[in-house]
Amino acid sequence: MYGGLGEDVYAELDEILVAADRALVDTYPGDAGGRQPVHTVYVPADRVTADLPARYGAAALALVGEHDLAGLAAELGFADAVAYERMLAKLAREPVEDLRVDVEDGYGHRPDAEEDAAVAAAADALSRAGAPPYWGLRFKSFEPATRRRGVRSLDLFLASVLENGPLPDGVALTLPKVTAVDQVAAMVVVCERLEQAHGLPAARLRFEIQIEMPQAVLGADGTATVARMIQAAAGRCSGLHYGTYDYSAACGIAASYQSMDHPAADHAKAVMQVVAAGTGVRLSDGSTNLLPVGDQATVHRAWTEHLRLVRRSLERGFYQGWDLHPGQLPTRYLATYSFFRAALPAATARLRAYLDRSDAAVLDEPATAQALAAVIVRGLDCGAFDGADVEFDRAVLDRLMRRSPR
Indicate the pLDDT class of residue 405, thresholds 50, 70 and 90: very low
Indicate the pLDDT class of residue 387, thresholds 50, 70 and 90: very high
**Listed residue (308, 301, 323, 283) closest to 99, CA to CA:** 323
β-sheet bridge partners, residue 323 = 41
Please, what are the domains in the chain? 39-339 (3.20.20.60)
Specify the pLDDT at position 402: 81
pLDDT one-digit tens code per residue, 212-265: 999 999 999 999 999 999 999 999 999 999 999 999 999 999 999 999 999 999
Tell me the average pLDDT of the chain.
Answer: 95
Distance (Å, rounded) from C-alpha 201 to C-alpha 139? 22
- DSSP letter for each residue of 209-272: EEE-SGGGTB-TTSSBHHHHHHHHTTT-EEEEEE-HHHHHHHTT--GGG--TTSHHHHHHHHHH
pLDDT score of 97 more than 60: yes
pTM, rounded to two decimals: 0.94
- Collapse the DSSP code of 286 into the 3-class scheme (helix H, G, I; strand E, B; otherwise coil) and give the result: coil
Lowest mean pLDDT among 71-85, 321-335, 351-365: 351-365
CA–chain centroid gap for 391, Å, is 27
- Collapse the DSSP code of 101 into the 3-class scheme (helix H, G, I; strand E, B; otherwise coil) and give the result: strand
Specify the pLDDT at position 406: 46
pLDDT score of 108 more than 70: yes
User: 216 Cβ partners below 8 Å, 6+ apart?
Assistant: 178, 179, 209, 225, 226, 229
What percent helix, strand, coil does the chain show, rounded to 5?
Answer: 55, 10, 35
